[in-house]
Amino acid sequence: MNIVILAAGQGKRMRSELPKVLHPLAGRPLLAHVLDAARSMAEALGLPAEVVVVVGHAGERVVQAFAGQPGVRFVAQHRQLGTGHAVLQASPLLDDAQPTMVLYGDVPLIEAETLLALLSAAGDGVGLLSAHATDPTGYGRVVRDAAGRVIRIVEERDATPDERAIDEVNTGILVAPTSRLKSWVTKLANDNAQREYYLTDVIALAVSEGAPVAACLAPDVTQTLGVNSKSQLAHLERIVQRRRAERLMQSGATLADPARIDVRGELSVGADVFIDVGCVFEGRVALADRVRVGPYCVLRDVQVGADSELVAFTHLTESRIGAQVRVGPFARLRPGAQLDDQVHIGNFVEVKASRVGHGSKANHLAYIGDAEVGPRTNIGAGTIVANYDGANKHRSRIGEDVQVGSNCVLVAPITVGDGATIGAGSTVSREVPAGGLTLARARQVTIAGWKRPLKKSGD
């Protein structure tokens, strides 16, 4: 099946250097959502999706963003002369033996089920997706004859007062036999207020040639909403997030406020998960049964085991967390962090590219980088693993049942034996043997009778 996605518009009202179809919705470009719907439709039909994306303004950035995706080709519309002109640019790449569906890169909420219904309604003729709008301002109107048959689409700027009163609007999405569509787009004229070649004029041409035209009503007008401004983008973002919140609650999650959650990727939840306000989920995140996520946490590509708790303002990226773990508040797990079961990572603690063993703790103001920490080890407040020498990172191994006092520096690469204790304030740069107490700090000295300096008179 041929699928043409129009993505050439500059989006002047966005007031941005970023091409309109690359603006993110729920963490992904607008165009990505449309491609997903097209592929899902083709997959349901058991057909390969041959997609042609028409690019224009800053088109090289769109091509670069989607380069390498299977079944997607690009064609440039060097002059933006309207939607009909855009389809004309794509026509050489379309297979006459298959029908062609035209979609829009800035209409991201369209669903595959709606496109399938449109195909069914069209049969061997032309299918037009329409919608009933409470406020049709700005949309082309679907004009029908006395028998209810579609006879043409009229753009608002060119409509009469009676036509403007019509509340059935054109979404722009249509499907047509490819050979006839190619013929029709060559016959389009630009004698309109915009001096553009409107794809919607194809409907009148089809009617004049006796081709059957069927209008299929979208089940939900929000599927047909386009993005032409930052305000409209924000409106669609809240629609998407509310839908995702509803799905999460249907899956058993409790949301403190469904209006204050942002899922910008894939979030799966187990039973009795609780998510507080202001949390952001990006990439792929999985929360097992009874996980609790405190307010204003950010999770990106994270797995969290059952009965674990993430306390307020915790940030986690590309990390794995076991069961019955507590992290935060104000903690940060960077890529490669792995916390085994029953680990505690406390306030203002950062873990990067390290594994922290079962039952170990770092409760206050610590940094663990490029280290393997054994089970039941305690990392004292203010302690850091100094893994960077200014040029290279080095790994360390801290054994099990180790006690590291407050304000220690473990200079990597270093090995700390099982059961060792390192006294507070130590800077350790050599291997620490198992079982003993290691001190590496200057001797305390008191100078009796020492006087503090005094300010000079007159200062």
Tokens encoding 325: 């773990």
Residues 98, 48: Cα–Cα separation, whole Å: 11
Enumerate helices (H) and strands (E) in the chain, giving the number of each.
8, 37
Which run of H or E residues covers position 286? strand 279-287
Tokens encoding 212: 């059957």
| Angle (nearest 5°) at CA 457 between 453 and 458 | 130
- For residue 70, give the DSSP letter: T
Q: How many CA atoms lie within 13 A of 95 on its CB side?
A: 10
Tell me which residue has tokens 């306390």: 311
Q: Is residue 309 classed as helix, strand or coil in its secondary structure? A: strand
Tokens encoding 119: 């195909």
Tokens encoding 96: 């006459």
Any catalytic annotation for residue 364? Answer: yes
Catalytic residue among 57, 358, 364, 394: 364
The sheet that has 254-255: what strands, in order across it?
254-255, 274-275, 292-293, 309-310, 326-327, 344-347, 361-364, 378-379, 403-404, 421-422, 437-438
Q: Which residues are catalytic?
A: 364
